[in-house]
Structure 1
């Protein structure tokens, strides 16, 4: 099958270890922090292949987080924000390429299936955020909501932690940027629209492909491409500044779609667009390679060769200012194509940024009640208990 071919009319059989609705194939890959690892082993009775042939779906487990802070801070020179808020650790969307997967290893979980099935949620996040915003000397700047994992992954429907965070930010007049692969942002359109009226929000919908079959394999529980585009259009009709992000661009897999994706985003009202080249830090490299060889055995070698070509011969180069775009002739060609397409479809305005207003920040009356929604439905999960969805 040639690179960039339409997969929607040629569905391939699921690889032997694939779980319905999950991206990674296994948890067997070792992490940086574990001294031992466990793998399935056939003891000679010939039963292992049969046992793995029809694996049941994996449930999602929720684990209460006891964090004492709301915002994470960074001083990375190639990131356009210095603070972020992440209501969840792990992400049920299951995107195989997600650069946040290695963060699960810090918790003692695998960046593989654990990342998308063992979700850590932060029910106290709105209250913690309010305390931090009230600290004397706090200087407001745009905060990135969901910089690590998606704030509108499926579990947000019931926990509503993201909504609680937005309610606090609205009360304080604090600017926020939102990046998501979900149409779930429309559930908070009332809040987002009010924030937009005060120049306090910018939303970015991540659209990686227009091919439903490819999206289903790469991002099994994220919204379908058409749903993301429809959400983008609805946000724009509501007066919300919103753009698009093609992240990641994977050489040899979805890079043939650059122009089509940008054209579709422009047609749905995007004010601008950006991209990130595939990033495979730490454990993601082996996970992605395992997934690629299982789902696309005919092109896996070609894709991996192109990835290495954009990373100086390795699967990843984490140097600042290079990790987002890569190096070499192939990476330069992708950058050039993206720039030309931005101009062609009128999306090059994104370079000027969303222009959020930090001067509206005010600490409300101390006697004001905590933002509605901060006592969200996650309170129904008993302390220390695992909730199965």
Structure 2
């Protein structure tokens, strides 16, 4: 029996139709009671007869667009995600396990069964108009990328930015997508009032590794160009060398920082590779398939940084790791930033400009 590539119950390795995808696995999510395993039943079913694996998008209406956060590991307390799942297909993405909560697989489903939130801008405006709302920096792109390919047609992020500009609300964006250049007009206006900043993620400068590790992400050279174009428009840009993969990409740290600075970045950050939940198996399978010569070295370093485990979720350790190698990476990062002229933090965005624009039916002030 042929399994549907877009169903979470398929645990087969779909090697015949993974072009442009980060993984070949589609194991059932950890909350599912049943799973299916592909087996040879004696019938000849060439992989070429299987349908092409295409992206499917469904929509959900959200009541609250803003997600609150209390983690001590991140510098923001609220975020917004226009999409669930991400077509970029980065094999290391720490957000993959979130698809299991939807009854979908963190594997191929995460890349191919996406959920769009078309009313995100409307829900955000409703949130801003609540008398109890107090403004602070809104983070976008911290879970899945708002500028993934489907944004070109959906334009949900464009609508969100329009709301943010009208309310003069600060926003910090993290992305790998070149689609952010489409919105330079809005972001440039906001940045002039210190209301917008952007972080561009660059994991490696090796185009070959990037293509298989981040299959639908612009090339490293293209991402440096994004930094240049945003910076030229007056938008403060930070380069995020994340995730830094020990034994594979960590040797590029200083070079990435230098090239990003040359392109116009003024700040930098880095986060070590994180392998929560299902991500560990997916990443290790990718290593074994694509870079078998690195597999043992990379995982040995990862475990060294996480107390002998694939991942340590303890606050304070999960994003940095611990031990000799983690300490070395932190020292190298700080030293390189100081030498190159990059700060570790962008200038704080303003919250005092927030205002609620009038709408039909509002009582206007006489003063």
- Match in the other structure for 1:350: 344
- Match in the other structure for 2:38: 40
Contact map agreement 2:67 2:79 (CA 8 A) in 1: yes
Contact map agreement 1:19 1:56 (CA 8 A) in 2: no
| Residue correspondence of structure 1 range 1-389 to structure 2 within 5 A | 16=15, 19-28=18-27, 30-44=28-42, 47=44, 51-52=46-47, 57-347=52-342, 349-351=343-345, 353-367=346-360
**SS across alignment from 1:141:** coil
User: Structure 2 regions of 5+ residues with no counterpart?
Assistant: 1-13, 363-367
User: In structure 2, do the counterparts of structure 1 residues 272 and 68 end up closer, same or farther at CA, with 3 Å as the change threshold?
Assistant: same
**SS across alignment from 1:299:** helix
Taking structure 2 as the reference length, the TM-score comes to: 0.92
User: Structure 1 regions of 5+ residues with no counterpart?
Assistant: 1-14, 370-389
Contact map agreement 2:17 2:53 (CA 8 A) in 1: no
| Equivalent-residue separation in structure 2 for 1:313 and 1:338 (angstroms) | 24
Pairwise CA distance, 1:66: 2.4
Pairwise CA distance, 1:350: 2.6
Contact map agreement 1:102 1:283 (CA 8 A) in 2: yes
Pairwise CA distance, 1:186: 0.5
Pairwise CA distance, 1:321: 1.2
User: In structure 2, do the counterparts of structure 1 residues 368 and 264 end up closer, same or farther at CA, with 3 Å as the change threshold?
Assistant: farther
User: How large is the Cα RMSD of the aligned pairs?
Assistant: 1.7
User: In structure 2, do the counterparts of structure 1 residues 54 and 304 end up closer, same or farther at CA, with 3 Å as the change threshold?
Assistant: farther
Pairwise CA distance, 1:194: 0.5
Give the number of equivalent residue pairs: 349
Taking structure 1 as the reference length, the TM-score comes to: 0.87
Superposed CA deviations along residues 108-164 of structure 1, whole A, max 9, x for unmatched, are 110000001001000011101000000012100000011110010000011000010
| Equivalent-residue separation in structure 2 for 1:54 and 1:215 (angstroms) | 29
